[in-house]
Amino acid sequence: MPWIYRPNHPKANENGLVERSEVFEGGKNSAPYVISDTMEPTKHMASGRILDSKAKFRAETRATGCVEIGNEAIKPRQQIKLDGGQRREAIRKTIHDLRNKR
C-alpha cells in the first residue's frame, strides 16, 4: 500500500506518513493530477522566440499559422469505389510494380 506525507492527518505515523486509502476515499484515481504549464526554455521554430510556457508556445504556434502535429482535426478519408475488375487490375498492377521495384 503506498504512503502519502500528511503530517497533520490524525492517522499519520511518527514520520508523518498515512496510508493512501486513509487519505483518499473512492479508489486509486481520486487524487488530483496536475500538469504543469512550465517547460524548459524552448526556441519556437516559426517565430524564433524562446518560450518557457506550454500555453504560450501553443498560442505562438497558432499565431504564426502553424499546426501542432497530433492536435489537428481528423479528416475522414473518402473511400475509393472500385468494381471487381478495377480492384483486380489495381492489385495486379501493384504486385507487378513491387516485383519490378518501381
Confidence band, pLDDT 50/70/90 cuts, at residue 2: confident
With beta carbons less than 8 A apart as the criterion, state whether 6 and 16 touch: yes
Mean pLDDT of 34-48: 92
pLDDT tens digit sequence for 44-92: 999 999 999 999 999 999 999 998 888 777 888 888 787 888 889 989 9
* Cβ contacts of 15-24, under 8 Å, gap ≥ 24: none
With beta carbons less than 8 A apart as the criterion, state whether 1 and 20 touch: yes
- Going from N- to C-terminal start, the domains of the chain cover 1-34, 38-68
pTM to 2 decimal places: 0.43
d(CA 69, CA 74): 11
H or E element, residue 62: helix 54-63
Q: Which residues does residue 38 pair with via DSSP β-bridges, in sequence order?
A: 53
pLDDT of residue 69: 84
pLDDT of residue 27: 55
